[in-house]
Chains A and B, each alone.
Chain A
Amino acid sequence: SAVISQKPSRDICQRGTSLTIQCQVDSQVTMMFWYRQQPGQSLTLIATANQGSEATYESGFVIDKFPISRPNLTFSTLTVSNMSPEDSSIYLCSVPPGTGSHYTFGSGTRLTVV
Chain B
Amino acid sequence: QQQVKQSPQSLIVQKGGISIINCAYENTAFDYFPWYQQFPGKGPALLIAIRPDVSEKKEGRFTISFNKSAKQFSLHIMDSQPGDSATYFCAASMGGAGGGNKLTFGTGTQLKVEL
CA distance A94 to B89 in the complex (A): 15
A41 and B107 within 8 A (CB) = yes
- What per-residue 1/0 map shows which CB atoms of A68-112 lie under 8 Å from chain B? 000000000000000000000000101011110111111110100
B102 and A107 within 8 A (CB) = no
A103 and B106 within 8 A (CB) = no
- What per-residue 1/0 map shows which CB atoms of B15-56 lie under 8 Å from chain A? 000000000000000000010100001111110010000000
Quote the shortest CB–CB distance from A29 to chain B (angstroms). 9
Interface size class, chain A: 20 to 34
Tally B residues with Cβ within 8 Å of A: 24
Task: Please tell me which one of the listed residues B6, B98, B108 contacts residue A97 in the complex, with CB atoms under 8 A apart.
Answer: B98
Task: Please tell me which one of the listed residues B42, B93, B102, B107 contacts residue A42 in the complex, with CB atoms under 8 A apart.
Answer: B107
By beta carbon, the residue of chain A nearest B110 is A40
Enumerate chain B interface residues (CB-CB to A < 8 A): 6, 34, 36, 41-46, 49, 89, 93, 97-108
Enumerate chain A interface residues (CB-CB to B < 8 A): 1, 6, 30-31, 33, 41-45, 48, 92, 94, 96-99, 101-108, 110
10 A-B residue pairs with Cβ-Cβ distance under 8 Å, sorted by A, are A33-B103, A42-B107, A43-B89, A45-B102, A103-B46, A103-B103, A105-B43, A106-B43, A107-B41, A110-B41
